[in-house]
Chains A and B, each alone.
Chain A
Amino acid sequence: MDHLLPGPKTAVSRRPTGLGRFGEYGGRFVPESLVPACAEVEQAFTDAWADPLFRAELRHVLAIYVGRPTPVTPAARLSAELGVNLLLKREDLAHTGSHKINNVLGQALLARRMGKRRLIAETGAGQHGVATATAGALLGMPTTVLMGERDIERQQLNVFRMTMLGAEVIPVTSGTRTLKDACSEALRHWVTSVEDSYYCLGSAMGPHPYPWMVREFQRVIGDEARTQCAADLATGTPDFVVACVGGGSNAAGTFAGFVDTPALLVGVEAAGGAAISAGSPGVLHGFRSKVLQDEHGQIAEAHSIAAGLDYPGVGPEHAYLADLGRASYVCVDDAEVLAATHRLARTEGILCALESAHAVAWVIRAAGDGTIPPDATVLLTLSGRGDKDMATLMELS
């Protein structure tokens, strides 16, 4: 882990330049039909984000509906076993059970402000779909969720939750029938309904302005955690800030709060979906970033036990942070993730999502091999709770 560089005070986590550029990544690679729609979202978000009333409204909803701020919980017993000071930022306690709701409520309020009447979303694990269905119910907006057939099979509980919340779940049968195909289908769906529909994208990826906007809606995780750490820690900031990376929204939001501190930022990818660790520059779903692909430019299939990390790309800002050396990206395999899930449950009484367990697994490994020095403070974003994964875990045990 000698590539873990100390954090330079680089001007990152700002607004992207030009047409959504984070260095050479980002951009807006969408069919012409969708360019005006993306431009409309960009304009609306720029206005809203500069409007104190919009910000206050979002803050209010996050407080009274989502239950923010979420606590930072010291993982006392696991910390003692590992010899480090591990703190958990508890996004699993947010309403609907993951950080996805932060972004969704921001976008749904934006959609309403834009006069849109329907919401469209893609989903992998179903957490973003559930969050969007929830926002749709809360604001009275009909919601359509595109979900790969294979994910529907392995996340049945979340499919049922979405239906309960009144959303329509459309199975996606093309390609690998997972998140990447759901993303393509959501873009196709949006093209046909752009007049009255708002595309509520679930991670810090996609065409400009989504990577930037989603990070801004998720930065509440990092901003809160920073304040909470400042109040609780003698040092003020943690030594390590760790989050799992699928598309990269919980990590982007977490990192945004610490990018100008000396904390080492670590994003943990699934070994079978490690776009940064194993990918190369490419264009997928409207943006340029690191993607898993073959020599011809065909996108490869990702494989992870965690449906939410089963994506061959990664948000452009992460590719940029990796190139700059401001954040490090590592990966863990399914076996480490399962072990970490069990260990966190037994030591802390927290059943976390398999996605979040990637971050836990890396901390366990890194504390063991000395990458995280003894007594270092680690802030880990626990992005979601594990209820949705119980069927998977039951099958495996």
Chain B
Amino acid sequence: MNALETRTRAARDAGRKLLLPYVTGGVTDDWGDLLRAAVDAGADAIEIGFPFSDPTLDGPVIQQSSDQALRRGATTRRILDEIARVAPPVPVIAFSYANLVLRPGADAYCAALADAGVGGLIVPDLPVDEMAPVAAAAQAHALDLALLAAPSTPLRRCADIARRSRGFVYAVSLMGTTGARSRPHESARELVRCLREETDLPVVLGFGIAAPGQAAEAAGYADGIAVGSALMRRLLDGATTAQLGAFLAQLRAALEPAG
């Protein structure tokens, strides 16, 4: 078992809900500081977005943070250098896009990630049917390739995804792009239940979780949450690293069992 999955399983087995903040790599000068702040706020792992010019799965906020990072000259190499420099004490998961992986070649890409200390990989436009070459490369470099399941995923496909995912399974809470919503989709609970029947991997819920109340609700049925747009929205609006850390600490608190 790779380091990321060891970590996620250990947390889950200890009854700790996972908090996975998302940060677009290169979005600001001091984005590396945000990684440290996230760890201090209780993040169990950090998703780093590798900005892509055409992010079909991302809503307006992550589109904007990706555009900003690209304008600032973000590249895979520079982001990896910063990750290696900061070397956060929790696993780092690369949130990428298929073309960024396939351009250098899946093996070279995964090797570079592993070298920088990255432990996991999510490629949202690489569904289970297309994953084989990347999955092999990830495994060869001890990276966990975590797969997404959506409310529209049929049961049998959920089983396949659950079986082939590594690190955790990412349950997409709603039919839509990344971005804060007032209320997660009702089908999120049902999706998590289906995935649980198929796997004992931790199931992390993501997309649209923006506030402590939603985090607490999600903690009632999932093993953890991923939070991206809500964090990047604040960052783009000018929040300081300390404020962003405080926001994550609120979410962390909301994930703890009441009383």
Contacts and interface: CB of A to CB of B under 8 A. Distances in A.
Contact of B99 (A33, A34, A37, A282): A282
Contacts of A31: 56-57, 124-125, 127, 148, 150, 172
Interface size class for chain B? Answer: 35 or more
Contacts of B98: 29, 283
A271 to B, nearest CB: 21
The residue among B99, B129, B150 with the most chain A CB atoms within 10 A of its own CB is: B99
Contacts of B128: 32
A192 interface: yes
A285 B76 CA distance: 21
Contact of A35 (B52, B60, B67, B153): B153
A298 B150 CA distance: 26
B54 A27 contact: no
Q: Which DSSP category, helix, strand, loop or mixed, fits chain A's interface?
A: mixed
A201 B175 CA distance: 20
A285 B55 CA distance: 9
Contact of A29 (B59, B126, B150): B126
The residue among B55, B57, B100, B172 with the most chain A CB atoms within 10 A of its own CB is: B57
B175 A192 contact: yes
Contacts of A30: 56, 125, 127
Interface stretch (A133-141, A180-188, A344-352, A376-384): A180-188
B242 interface: no
The residue among A184, A282, A286, A299 with the most chain B CB atoms within 10 A of its own CB is: A184
A183 to B, nearest CB: 8
Given A35-B127, A188-B177, A297 B172 contact: no
Given A36-B154, A194-B175, A19 B130 contact: yes
Contacts of B227: none
Contact of B129 (A19, A291, A298): A19
Contacts of B59: 188
B176 A32 contact: no
Nearest to B179: A188
A195 B185 CA distance: 14
Interface residues of A, number: 37
Interface of B: 52-57, 59-60, 63, 67, 70, 75-76, 97-104, 124-130, 147-154, 157, 161, 172, 175-177
Given A28-B127, A32-B148, 17 more contacts: A28-B129, A28-B130, A29-B130, A31-B124, A31-B172, A32-B147, A32-B172, A35-B152, A174-B63, A184-B54, A191-B175, A191-B177, A282-B103, A284-B99, A291-B99, A296-B103, A297-B52
Interface of A: 19, 27-37, 174-175, 180-181, 184, 187-188, 191-192, 194-195, 281-286, 288, 291, 293, 295-299
24 contacts: A28-B129, A29-B125, A29-B126, A30-B127, A31-B57, A31-B150, A33-B176, A35-B127, A36-B154, A37-B152, A174-B67, A175-B53, A175-B54, A187-B56, A188-B56, A191-B176, A192-B177, A283-B99, A283-B102, A288-B102, A297-B101, A297-B102, A298-B70, A299-B54
